[in-house]
Amino acid sequence: MANRADPPHVSIILPANNEAASLRTLVGGIRKSHPDAEVIVVDDGSDDATAEVATDGGARVVRHPYSMGNGAAVKSGARAATGEILVFMDADGQHDPADIARLIARLEEGYDMAVGARQAGSQASLGRGLANSFYNRFASLIVGQRIEDLTSGFRAVRADRFREFLYLFPNGFSYPTTVTMAFFRAGYLVSYVPIHAGKRVGKSHLRPIRDGIRFLLIIFKVGTLYSPLKIFVPIAAIQGIVGLAYYGHTYITTGRLTLGTIFMLSSALTIFLIGLVSEQITQLTYRGTSGSADGR
């Protein structure tokens, strides 16, 4: 029989900013479906009754004195959690507590992270759905694996694996992008579980244009951090093709090699060499992480 002093096997973490309206029902639903789990609500500088509602529902509250961002709340929750498995879900009522068991079941099958992949009809708008589809395809190209839902905030992970990458997480909304690509690059096992996300309670904190650009920059950032050649080689190839095409044009029309051609070809070579060096640095930097994943 397990000792009562043993840490909870599962910690369920809800980053929350002014989510009092949804938390009353959500925390109650989590406590009902997972009575033995540790429930942590990270109050990210709310000015409503988020902390009080969470406490009344039986959750442990970690408070930020001011809003630091969704990613910062996730990091605070991960540091405070004592469970071997961490479950992250949005506090706005979109995610069904009944799906938590399905995510955890995937981890019990041997996966390191299980992500709730939103199905058709779960996107807040057509524009956001198209944007997420683009992010999924672009990120899949970089990591070389199919990513079904890059930005889903509903996921279960092994705590030790997750904490390896905390230092990479931005304080804003892009932590799912970073952790998904980091897990793939490290050779950890990722699985997707189909879910239906309901309509959120209250107003979304996401700003489509600003956060959309931020998501794209995060993909490039993590791409260059974990698989530099997949970013640098296409750019170098395009530059080289343009340089050769320009040389063909100038040779036919003027019969000479121009400085423009020399610049484009030399810059293409430089870009490729930078990517090659970056790839070697990446291999050296993350050799220990990748080795631990392969050697399990």
DSSP track, 197-240? --PPSS-----HHHHHHHHHHHHHHHHHHH-THHHHHHHHHHHH
Total residues belonging to the chain: 296
Does 3 fall in a domain?
A: no
pLDDT, position 176? 87
Same domain, 44 and 153: yes
DSSP string, 85-150: EEEE--TTS-S-GGGHHHHHHHHHTT-SEEEEEE-TT-SSSHHHHHHHHHHHHHHHHHHTS--S-T
Pairing of strands 10-16, 38-44: parallel
pTM of the model: 0.76
Of 143, 146, 38, 18, which is closest to residue 93 (Cα–Cα)?
18
In angstroms, rounded to a whole number, what is the distance separating the alpha carbons of residues 4 and 56?
23
CATH number reported for the structural domain that contains residue 155 in this entry:
3.90.550.10
User: Does 194 lie in the same domain as 233?
Assistant: no
What DSSP state is assigned to residue 6? S
Indicate if 247 and 159 belong to the same structural domain.
no
Q: Check if the beta carbon of residue 113 is closer than 8 Å to that of residue 161.
A: yes
Q: What is the dihedral of CA 288, 279, 146, 77, to 10 degrees?
A: 50
Same domain, yes or no, for 269 and 213?
A: no
- Residues 167, 256 within the same domain: no
Answer whether 157's CB lies under 8 Å from 57's CB: no
Q: Are residues 271 and 165 in the same domain?
A: no
Which pLDDT belongs to residue 233? 93
Specify the residue for token string 């100038």: 250
**Residue 102 and residue 181 in one domain:** yes
Q: Based on the domain organization, do 37 and 124 belong to the same domain?
A: yes
Range of the domain at 110: 10-225
Could you say which of 225, 259, 274 is where a domain stops?
225
Residues 6+ apart with CB under 8 A from 246: 258, 260, 261, 264
21 shares a domain with 148: yes
Kindly report the number of other CB atoms within 10 A of residue 47's CB atom: 9
Alpha-carbon distances of 196 from 96, 116, 120, 152, rounded to whole Å: 8, 9, 8, 11
Q: In Å, how far are 139, 185, 201, 228 from 148, measured between CA atoms?
A: 10, 16, 25, 22
The whole-number pLDDT of residue 170 equals 82
Based on the domain organization, do 197 and 80 belong to the same domain? Answer: yes
Does 296 fall in a domain? no
Number of domains in the chain: 2
Three-state DSSP class for residue 252: helix
Per-residue pLDDT of the chain (296 residues; tens, 9 = 90+): 444 445 569 999 999 999 998 898 999 999 999 999 999 999 999 999 999 999 999 999 999 999 999 999 999 999 999 999 999 999 988 899 999 999 999 999 999 999 999 886 555 555 666 777 777 887 787 777 888 888 888 999 999 999 998 988 888 777 888 898 889 878 899 999 999 876 655 455 556 566 667 767 777 776 777 778 888 999 999 999 999 999 999 989 988 888 999 999 999 999 999 999 988 887 776 655 544 444 34
Q: Do 14 and 78 sit in the same domain of this protein?
A: yes
Specify if 294 maps to a domain. no
Structure confidence at residue 150 (pLDDT): 84
According to the model, what pLDDT value does residue 2 have? 43
Kindly write down the DSSP assignment for every residue of 138-158, as one continuous string.
HHHHHHTS--S-TT---EEEE
- Residue among 115, 100, 105 at smallest CA distance from 148: 115
Question: Which of 225, 257, 279 is the last residue before a domain boundary?
Answer: 225
Sign of CA dihedral 15, 179, 272, 242: negative
